[in-house]
Structure 1
């Protein structure tokens, strides 16, 4: 009797709600489905104009294609580079024109759809580690030039490792919902009130350069918080500082200072590029000067008038800091003073003073911690300041002590709270694949 009653109730429920559930499932399937685009025979390199390929090479540099699609010690554009995210680890695809493991059988239409809509040639949704939320703003001509450049590279057979994501994020149709929320298509509208150089900078920054992808905060779903664009973010375990008026630089950034930094990785009145920014600078060091000046002009306008001290303000409160952080003072004298101490010989070799370090002045200690743990390599042909890593020679407590001392000595900002915990977290981030 109980079984019959249960079955009768189940039938009534099915006929009441079943059609709606089926219709919802079919709608969801239709909303997430994308057709495949027919494969093509790999086009011969000579089918592309040399001028278009050369232009595509520059645009690929501006878009950092090789930075993301080249594994450590690997061949350019072959993929396999791991990208740790809060949702697991993604691996960059092979974008050489190999017909089996790369994009050799992709047409320009398939390539354009991937860049604009985040959809693979076979119709599968791509993860936004490929920043199509920015590439969607790139013009047809520029996408065609990048395609020409990639399709004329040497094809390399290399299978991309499988992504390692938390359940159920490996189910790609879910990305269709993400795109409905966060993918905003359309060109970058020119601002008639700004110069041609400024508008060029805006196009590069918001499109190919995808600068906001690192320098903006993200919500729990991984989407950029557009209302807080350029308010600072996270990039591969490093802090990407704000590029708006809240930038923590001790001295205001000018367009000239930004140009020098973006071109060389060093601004004597500000800081040196480190972490993921080093690779960006390496790319920008070889593109046309006009494009770098356009970017500098654009971001100088965003940061103009922000917090910053006068040009003569160099803080050095050694006595006060030594009393507050005696252990850090001892460690600094032994590990850091040779390069960063007053009158140190290396301090005059293009190394920005610590009193001007944006990392020390930032409210977030992450990049200062990573600089100590991982060190700094000159991004352009070995030129510029170099700092060795201390991850194996200093404990978490020692890193926290020396940074607490440096912040107390070279800035007037309050001490970082829970610094030892931040060091532990940063070290863990730095060792993820």
Structure 2
């Protein structure tokens, strides 16, 4: 009994010491403003590649703001976090951050002044980046145009505004430092894992989160971000047409696949960032992701329930008037441009209707695809019931899948969240 009590006391002491270590981090002294000439051009050039791998501009640029100046609202289950300014402005950005301070932020989630960063900044992945890549990313960001802009205050639940609580979160989820290569795997596979698990932080979106915001294991089992479903990256063989490494690499580079469709929602800007990278990087990412796949299964044929027939019939009529001009097999964009049928769409085959609903409400802007994929938004012209009816028709008649549950509720919820 005494031995158990001693072990419990020792464990509590270790936890307390670890928490105290993470809770109280010293400030790192500010530095004088640096000039572009203080950095080697080759390092800045390499840093542009690293920053594109991490999609840094996507999160650190608001809809109306300057690049890297922050202010983008990130909706979380715990409230809204506004991204910070990472331009070299000395008052509101990182202009007085040393390389040591920048490295500590990426490796340990600690700002220059010692406060703990929220894990919406995915330092649990950035910690795996190499020292060379961190140095180059620093060189690139410190040579951007300084912008004096302070992001709005975060809108979080009251207890979570006390940042020292993040010390316990770090003890659970942060494992600092890069991972060693797997010698049993190819150089391309190891490069792909490094990009996916490190700068690319793919699991941040493509994994479900536990009640305190940690990524559930196994990773890549699918997630949700900003009302869009991020599909499971381990289930790409169970889509209407199984993905191949070559198709995935092309999709990452161009935001579009001739056999699967276009990148939409949060994936659109990610594909734009990846299009700036060398082909070798997208090939490596595809090689690693395809190595994670679960075995393919044969979907069973589904006959719509009689209770769904009226909705499907209404959806068919609406589809004929609003959608068939582009999405029927005879439509010019399908016959000439070689666009994939909706029957091949991962969104149509998904277990949830969210992405189909989002695309109908928001459309697809030209900027989200190197192939100029475009779809107009229908939020202003179709009611919630009409959106739900079309979704039901597409799912049953085109996708040949079992009906989605709670489609009406999801349409109402997604439209409301988008408006907010």
SS of the equivalent of 1:89 reads: strand
Q: Aligned partners of 2:55 and 2:358: how far apart in 1?
A: 22
- Find 1:171's aligned residue among 162, 166, 191: 162
Q: Shift of residue 208 of structure 1? A: 0.2
Contact 2:250 2:256 in 1 (8 A): yes
1:204-256 deviation line (CA, Å, top 9, x unaligned): 0000000010001111111000x221110012211000000366521111111
Contact 2:255 2:370 in 1 (8 A): no
SS of the equivalent of 2:258 reads: coil
Q: Match for residue 320 of structure 2? A: 333
Q: 1:247 to 1:376 in 2, by over 3 A?
A: farther
- Provide TM-score, normalisation by structure 1: 0.88
Is 1:106 paired with 2:94? no
Contact 1:134 1:208 in 2 (8 A): yes
Q: CA RMSD in A?
A: 2.4
Contact 1:63 1:209 in 2 (8 A): yes
- Find 1:278's aligned residue among 259, 268, 275: 268
Contact 2:348 2:399 in 1 (8 A): yes
Q: Match for residue 10 of structure 2? A: none
Q: What does 1:131-210 correspond to in 2, within 5 Å?
A: 131-210=122-201
**More deviation in 72-81 or 399-408?**
72-81
Q: Match for residue 60 of structure 1? A: 51
Q: Shift of residue 271 of structure 1? A: 1.9
- Find 2:371's aligned residue among 383, 406, 419: 383
Q: Match for residue 403 of structure 1? A: 391
Contact 1:321 1:405 in 2 (8 A): no
Q: What does 1:243-254 correspond to in 2, within 5 Å?
A: 243-245=233-235, 248-254=238-244
Q: Match for residue 34 of structure 2? A: 43
Q: Aligned partners of 2:238 and 2:356: how far apart in 1?
A: 13
Contact 2:93 2:148 in 1 (8 A): yes
Q: Aligned partners of 1:145 and 1:325: how far apart in 2?
A: 55
SS of the equivalent of 1:169 reads: helix
Aligned residues: 402
Contact 1:241 1:247 in 2 (8 A): no
Contact 1:120 1:126 in 2 (8 A): yes
Q: Match for residue 79 of structure 1? A: 70
- Find 1:34's aligned residue among 5, 19, 25: 25
Q: Shift of residue 158 of structure 1? A: 0.6
Q: Aligned partners of 2:215 and 2:324: how far apart in 1?
A: 40
Q: What does 1:326-365 correspond to in 2, within 5 Å?
A: 326-348=313-335, 349-365=337-353
Q: Shift of residue 425 of structure 1? A: 1.8
SS of the equivalent of 1:168 reads: helix
Q: Aligned partners of 2:407 and 2:129: how far apart in 1?
A: 41
Q: Aligned partners of 2:362 and 2:297: how far apart in 1?
A: 29
Is 1:414 paired with 2:402? yes
Contact 1:231 1:246 in 2 (8 A): no
Is 1:260 paired with 2:250? yes
Q: Shift of residue 270 of structure 1? A: 1.1
**More deviation in 385-394 or 209-218?**
385-394
Contact 2:188 2:287 in 1 (8 A): yes
Q: Match for residue 3 of structure 2? A: none
Q: Shift of residue 260 of structure 1? A: 1.1
Q: Aligned partners of 2:99 and 2:318: how far apart in 1?
A: 57
SS of the equivalent of 2:229 reads: strand
Q: Shift of residue 305 of structure 1? A: 3.9
1:30-71 deviation line (CA, Å, top 9, x unaligned): 651111000000122111100000000011001001000001
